[in-house]
Amino acid sequence: MLRWRLISAAVIISALLALVWLDYRQVVGYGTWLLPVVIAVSLLATEEVLSLLRSKNYQPVAWPIYLGNLLMPLAAAAPLLFELAGRDFPENNPLGRFGWPLAVLALASIAMIGAEMGRFRQPGAAIVNCALGIFTLTYVGLLISFLCMLRLYGGNAWGMLALLSVLIIVKLADAGAYFFGRALGRSKMTPILSPGKTWEGAAGGALTACFGSWACFHFLGPLLVTSQYVEPQLWAVLLYGLVIAAAGVHGDLAESLLKRDMQRKDSSTWLPGLGGVLDIIDSVLVAAPCGWLCWVLGLVGPG
């Protein structure tokens, strides 16, 4: 299992690094290479959530969910789309930047309710299906949109640092929790929800997250931002690492809750050793908005 996990991870990381390089070098325009990846992941994760729900015979109308989870990342990347169309993004519009995916969520939720109204025949399932459809829109589409907002934060260089810092820190925290848990784990964190997680593993994950955060801002920051870069204070860098690590654990447990409730081990089986897309991005889904808040509130980033 570990062998296949490492092979799958190596293939994914290699492909992602190539796209990151093309995106950072602004071949076409920054954000252009990574946006299709976010959209594809959003749609694949949507299918996996709906598949989990179908295993317990929940059948929300699918088309508003797919449409919403396609459009929310696109809405979050609205400045990029304006640039590709050769127009300036209206920064002073009433929605700002954050409001665009929220507006799509609202419209998709309305469509979700309307679709259930259209197929209503007898009482017993309509409201549950509406609620599960809106849950899927929020859990996948809205949360993944923050990856787009991280990438577009502060321009090409700062946006790449914002995005990569979240991804690197959360995955280092995952790896640290796994290896520290295997070596030292004794105290179960959530014996029913996720029996493999331990407090010792969580502490190890927090430690590796702090190291990863320091490495990102000490080494990666100057490499990406170059002469304009000012390294954040150490306490802010370490706090940022802890926030991302805690958010990652929450995201991991959130998916465990979904799978346990649906009585499934993995979201899917198409990635050997890793499960499905949702099994890879579960921690990222929660870490992304938490990381974005750290950047926009000034904990880290340009002074």
Last residue of a domain, one of 134, 152, 170: 152
Q: What is the pLDDT of residue 203?
A: 95
Q: How many CB atoms lie within 10 A of CB 68?
A: 29
Query: For 35, what's the count of Cα atoms within 13 Å in the CB-facing half-sphere?
Result: 21
User: Which pLDDT tens digits describe the chain residue by residue (303 residues)?
Assistant: 556 566 666 777 888 888 888 888 876 677 889 999 999 999 999 999 999 999 999 999 999 999 999 999 999 999 888 888 888 888 888 888 789 999 999 999 999 999 999 998 888 889 999 999 999 999 999 999 999 999 999 889 999 999 999 999 999 999 999 999 888 878 998 888 888 899 999 999 999 999 999 999 999 999 999 878 999 999 999 999 999 999 999 999 999 999 999 988 777 766 665 678 998 999 999 999 999 999 999 999 886
Question: Which residue blocks in 93-139 are alpha helix, DSSP H?
Answer: 99-118, 126-136
Q: Which of 125, 152, 179 is the last residue of a domain?
A: 152
Q: What's the pLDDT at 272?
A: 61
Label each residue of 62-75 as H, E or C.
CHHHHHHHHHHHHH
* Pair (168, 297) in one structural domain: yes
Do 42 and 23 belong to one domain? no
Check if the beta carbon of residue 224 is closer than 8 Å to that of residue 161.
yes
pLDDT at 98: 84
- Whether residue 299 sits in one domain with residue 186: yes
Say if residues 211 and 172 touch (Cβ distance below 8 Å).
yes
Rg of the chain, C-alpha, whole Å: 20
Choose among 275, 289, 294, 295: nearest CA to 139: 289
The confidence score (pLDDT) of residue 182 equals 86
Amino acid code (one letter) for 243? V
Tokens of residue 275, six digits: 């499960």
Angle between helices 277-296 and 234-262 (to 10 degrees): 150
Q: Are residues 129 and 185 in the same domain?
A: no
Angle at 261 (CA atoms; ends 256, 264), nearest 5 degrees: 70
Residue 141 is given by DSSP the state I
Last residue of a domain, one of 108, 123, 152: 152
pLDDT at 46: 97
pLDDT at residue number 116: 94
21 and 76 together in one domain: no
Q: Whole-model pTM above 0.85?
A: yes
pLDDT at residue number 185 = 79
Going from the C-alpha of 170 to that of each of 9, 70, 246, 257, 266, the distances in angstroms are 15, 24, 9, 19, 20
Residues 56 and 194 grouped into a single domain: no
Q: Are residues 107 and 195 in the same domain?
A: no
Please identify which residue in the block is written with the tokens 């995916």.
101
pLDDT of residue 270: 64
8 lies in the same domain as 106: no
Residue 236: other Cβ atoms inside 10 A: 17
Structurally, the chain folds into a number of domains equal to 2
Tell me the torsion sign for CA atoms 274, 279, 284, 287. Answer: negative
